[in-house]
């Protein structure tokens, strides 16, 4: 902590460490062995799209970068009901390293083009044999992870979270991933692709 920060009572926010995304493949193995959750084979980056040609070009570069691979995954872009853009990468469920590389490339390219302030989170969904689903969410601005588990099979318009599953995931992974300690930052991402 710097002297001025100590005097004014301010502290520095941790900030993103995009290399943390490369910890997800080993966390996926832990989830599979400890809790029976398998990767869904997709992941998505959520951001607030900027207007203008520069951002459209940056988004096109991201898609082109991923499509360069001879075994390229499918890339789709959607906008949720809150106005946030999700760039979803769908590939083989058994290639978590490739998926995380693609998600890292999306975040890095958007950041390098000067639009890092619009990045919100990266989400990787997991499922078990009972049909439960959760997303492992990386908060871009905090540099931390949390689990978001919507309760499946509810009536239209009803939304609930499986808090027990979210805490269980945290307990399994907190030794491997930098988990968000402030539960108020475990935001719901209801319209996230893959959940």
Give strand pairing partners of 119. Answer: 47
Question: Is the pLDDT at 24 greater than 80, yes or no?
Answer: yes
Q: Which of 119, 150, 146 lies closest to 132, judged by CA?
A: 150
Per-domain residue ranges for the chain?
14-185
pTM here is 0.85
Task: Write a three-state SS string for 24-36.
Answer: HHHHHHHHHHHHC
pLDDT for the residue 37: 97
pLDDT for the residue 161: 96
Q: What is the pLDDT of residues 44-85, one digit of tens each?
A: 999 987 777 777 777 777 777 777 766 778 888 888 888 898
For 73, the token pair is 């995954």
């Amino acid at each position: 902590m710097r002297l001025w920060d100590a005097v004014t009572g301010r502290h520095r926010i941790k900030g993103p460490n995009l290399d943390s995304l490369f910890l997800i493949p080993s966390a996926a193995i832990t989830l599979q062995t400890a809790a029976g959750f398998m990767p869904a084979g997709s992941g998505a980056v959520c951001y607030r799209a900027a207007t203008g040609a520069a951002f459209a070009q940056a988004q096109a570069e991201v898609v082109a970068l991923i499509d360069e691979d001879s075994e390229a995954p499918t890339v789709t872009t959607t906008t949720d009901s809150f106005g946030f853009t999700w760039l979803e990468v769908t590939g083989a469920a058994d290639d978590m390293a490739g998926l995380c590389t693609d998600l890292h490339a999306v975040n890095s390219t958007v950041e390098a083009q000067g639009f890092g302030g619009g990045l919100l989170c990266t989400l990787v969904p997991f499922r078990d044999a009972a049909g439960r689903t959760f997303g492992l969410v990386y908060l871009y601005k905090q540099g931390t992870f949390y689990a978001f588990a919507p309760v499946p099979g509810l009536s239209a318009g009803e939304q609930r979270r499986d808090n027990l599953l979210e805490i269980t995931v945290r307990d399994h992974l907190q030794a491997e991933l930098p988990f968000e300690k402030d539960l108020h930052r475990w935001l719901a991402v209801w319209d996230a692709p893959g959940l």
